[in-house]
Amino acid sequence: MTAIGVFDSGVGGLSVLHHIRQTLPNEHLIYVADSGHVPYGDKTASYIEQRSIALSNFLLSQGAEAIVIACNTATAAAAATLRRDFNCPIIGMEPAVKPAVTATKSGVIGVLATTGTLESARFAALLERYAGAVKIITQGCPGLVEQVELGELHSIRTRELVERYTAPLLERGADTLILGCTHYPFLAPLIREVVGEDIMLVDTGAAVARHLKSRLLTELPDHPTCRVETRPTELFFTSGDTTQASRIMSLLWGEDISAQPLPHAFANG
C-alpha cells in the first residue's frame, strides 16, 4: 500500500480525491485542506509557494510517498519548486484545455478559474500552446471558492455568481466550459442548471488520478497499486477550524469526516 498525500487551499481538492479513491481503491490517502489560508487565488506566488512547501513537508512527515497538488493556483505557483526540492512524484493540475479543444464544436472555449491561475505564466504558456486552434475566453471567478468552503453549493448568492461569470462566456459563443479550479466541480450541478444541457463542462480530476497511478507504477514499483495489503484509509487535516472543516468535508466527501488540526508548525509555516 502506498501513502498518497494531497493538498489544496481548502476543501476543493476533495473533488480530485474522489477520483483518486476510485482509481486507486487500495491506497492510504492523506488530505490537507489549507483553509486557514484560503483562498489562494488572491495571494502572491511566493506566499503560495511557501504554503505548498510547508504542506508537502507535513505530508512527507506522515509517510506520503507521492504528492498531488490538488489546486490549479498552487500548481502554477509551486509545482516547479516542489519537483526540484522533493524526491518523490509530484502531480499537479492544469486547466483541461486539451480535452476541451477536442470537445468544442463552436471553436470557442470558456475557462472559469481563479485570478491566480489566470495570471500565471504556466497558464499563459498553456494558452499559447493552443493559440489558433480555438478561441479561448477566460473568466476570473472571485467568491466561488469561498462559497464552496461554506458548503453553499446551491444558495442564491452562489447562483448569482455562477450566472455573472458564465454569461459573458456564453454570449461570446462558448459551448465548452473548463472548470479551472478544483472547487468548481462541486458546483457542476448548479452550473449545469444555469448554462443548460448543451454546454460541455470539463474538469481534470479523473485525468490527474490516471496520471498518478501511472507514475506510481513507474516510479514506485515496490508498492503495487493493485493489491490489498491492509484496509485502505483516509486521513483529513485542516489549518482552519476543525468543526467547520469536518462539516463541509463530510458534505463534499459523502461520509462523516473528523478533520484533525494541522500541527502549528505547518499550519503557520
Neighbours of 204 (CB within 10 A): 25
Neighbours of 255 (CB within 10 A): 7
- The span from the CA of 100 to the CA of 96, in Å, is 6
The residue assigned the cell 476541451 is: 100
What are the residues whose beta carbons fall under 8 Å from the beta carbon of 241, sequence distance 6 or more?
Answer: 35
- The span from the CA of 111 to the CA of 106, in Å, is 15
Helix (H, G, I), strand (E, B) or coil at 42: coil
Catalytic residue list? 71, 181
- The span from the CA of 188 to the CA of 204, in Å, is 13
Helix (H), strand (E) at residue 147: helix 144-149
Terminal Cα distance for the chain, rounded: 30
